[in-house]
Structure 1
């Protein structure tokens, strides 16, 4: 059970309803974390703006962005965000379902390129406590990604640092859509 009760849709302000519509479009369902954040409208607005910036089309592949979020969420131990991001990688970003299902084997699986391995390795290290990111991670990243792409990788890691702490601490209840996706895909990570 969530430690702070989410608002119902009927309880939302007009702006929070717009933010919820945006989130529903981005994710394909109504996320409980948005309903909880709506209790603090300024925080919800600020978080939505950060999500807008980080998820905006850029130089980095959208599917890779979401796999980075899945790995960083796993390292942080946030089951809620792991389910959301693995679902979103396949259903919303069009990532290869087999690749997402094997994201935990990124270091050895032939499904992943060296660049993807570098990005996912940093995500795992950065999501861990204490932070395990090293100079070697960035040496490897620079072999495969532009400075802008590295900033996009860092944006996903930072965004999910916030979302992981929020959802894991509040024990946000996982919605049926991502939960069903995880069960259907026999995800080992959630």
Structure 2
């Protein structure tokens, strides 16, 4: 059960254009944004940053979604895990690859470039952060400096979202819960429940 209920969509007509984009890409509107919207400037800033980080630049969206999923797995935020399993699926990451994210270093499903980004995400999401120079050396073999900024931005964005959703106990929507349950064996919504 969430600590703060999300606002009804109808109460936020100023965001309808952005909300429609969420509907188109994800298939639903996240409760996290409807909760942030109790302070509209926070919701607006978040949606703008989310757009810039995940949907602009030259790093493939599928990789950024997997980086965000790994970040969420490392922090334990089941809400964000469900959402990022869904978005990985939207960007055509196969279920078996989603299921193998945590084992990216040994799984044959990942390229060396993907491994470098995913390992960085895992190490950066830990507390304390355990990123070292060799993680950036591995990235630099596959990505230019601007692309590395994109990857770190995705990790940092989910540092915010993981803290937000785990603290708020944001209620999980049925669609991402369904995808995560299928693509990530053993995944459960935990304190985020599932909105039916």
Question: Could you say whether these structures have the same fold, taking a TM-score greater than 0.5 normalized by the shorter chain as the test?
Answer: yes
Displacement of 1:42 in angstroms is 0.2
Q: How many residue pairs are counted as aligned between the two chains?
A: 188
Give the equivalent residue in structure 2 for 1:101.
99
Structure 1 segment 117-156 matched on structure 2, within 5 A:
117-156=115-154
Asked if 2 retains the 8 angstrom alpha-carbon contact of 1:7 and 1:35, the reply is yes
TM-score normalised by L of structure 2: 0.90
- Kindly tell me: are residues 75 and 186 of structure 1, through their superposed partners in 2, closer, same or farther at Cα, counting changes over 3 Å? closer
Confirm or deny: 8 A CA contact 1:68 1:119 kept in the other structure: yes
Cα-to-partner distance string for 1:72-121 (whole Å, 9 max, x where unaligned): 0111111100110011111x212233211211110101111111111100
The match for 1:177 among 172, 175, 178 is 175
**Residue segments in structure 1 that go unaligned for 5+ positions in a row:** none
**Counterparts of 2:185 and 2:69 in 1: how far apart (Å)?**
11
Structure 2 regions of 5+ residues with no counterpart? 189-196
What is the alpha-carbon root mean square deviation over aligned residues?
1.4
Q: Which residue of 1 aligns with 2:54?
A: 55
TM-score normalised to structure 1 length: 0.93
SS at match of 1:85: helix
Question: How much does 1:130 deviate?
Answer: 0.8
- Aligned CA distance change for structure 1 residues 186 and 68 (closer, same or farther; 3 Å): closer
